[in-house]
Amino acid sequence: MHDGRSANELTKAGAGRQAPDRSPFSIREAFSAFGLVALWNRKPRPHPTIVVAESLRREGNMKSRPPGVKIEEAFRAAL
């Protein structure tokens, strides 16, 4: 479910909050599976942001898009 907020708006709204614990596809898994393809310009951080999900969707291939959507949905639900 998309609530209409952009990734920048969600990043501002979620500033200082930890990533959701119950994400269906963890951000660590995303870095190990798609790091070179979609997350080449990102670093793993202790408190990841929605920017990782956006990069999976926009920068990655067809395999990286579904996990990016799942991570983004988890972030949206947590906000």
Q: Is the pLDDT of residue 77 over 60?
A: yes
The domain locations on the chain are: 24-78
- Does 58 or 3 have the greater pLDDT score? 58
Burial of 59: CB neighbours in 10 Å, binned 0-12, 13-18, 19+ = middle
User: Tell me: the pLDDT tens digits for 12-67?
Assistant: 666 555 555 555 567 778 888 888 888 878 887 776 677 888 888 888 888 888 88
What pLDDT does 26 receive?
A: 76
How far apart are the C-alpha atoms of 40 and 15, rounded to whole Å?
A: 23
Residue 72 main-chain phi, psi, to 5 deg: -65, -40
Confidence at residue 60, expressed as pLDDT on a 0 to 100 scale: 86
Q: Which residue has the tokens 């799942």?
A: 70
What span, in angstroms and rounded, lies between the C-alpha atoms of 3 and 21?
Answer: 21
